[in-house]
Amino acid sequence: MMEFQPIKVATGSSDEEGRLVLLDGRLIAVIVRLDDEAHGAARGQWSLEAGFNGVDSVKPPLFANLQSAERWIEMQIV
């Protein structure tokens, strides 16, 4: 089961609103919402900040919402 726990992330920017993504109680990813105005059109989307155990990409996509983040993370761990 995948859970999203709210967490503040120190990114050195206005992008603070984050989620710890847990799979069966284990941390599998950290995602952050892009709130800083410097992100322009990408504002409001979620960005992968860290991933574990294969949840990784040199160029991860941005996620419109937590559901699409969940779908993408699931694909990485299969």
Partner 1 sequence: MLDAMLAKLEALQPLPEEDKKLLHAIVGKGRPIKAGDPITLEGEQYKLVHVMLSGHACRYKILADGKRQIIGYLVPGDFCDLFGFLLDRMDHSISALTPCEIVELTEDDVLMLTARPMLARALWWSNLVDSAILREWLVNVGRRTPDKRIAHILCELLVRLQTVGVARSNGFRLALSQADLGDTVGLTTVSVNRALQRLRRSRLIVQTSREITIPDVSALMAFADFDPSYLHFRQDRDEPLQPRQEIA
Rounded distance between C-alpha atoms, residue 13 and residue 28, angstroms: 23
Which of 13, 22, 76, 77 binds partner 1 (CB under 8 A)? It is 13
Distance of CA 78 to the CA centre of its chain: 18
For the bound state, the minimum distance from the C-beta of residue 1 to partner 1, rounded and expressed in Å, comes to: 28
Residue whose tokens read 């709210």: 6
* Listed ranges 1-9, 20-28, 55-63, 69-77: which one lies at the site for partner 1 (CB under 8 A): 55-63
Which of 11, 50, 66, 77 binds partner 1 (CB under 8 A)? It is 11
Which of 21, 30, 34, 55 binds partner 1 (CB under 8 A)? It is 34
Q: Is 19 left (phi over 0), alpha (psi -120 to 50) or beta?
A: beta
Which of 12, 67, 75, 78 binds partner 1 (CB under 8 A)? It is 12
Q: Does 59 bind partner 1 (CB under 8 A)?
A: yes
Cα angle 4, 5, 7 (rounded to 5 degrees) comes to 130
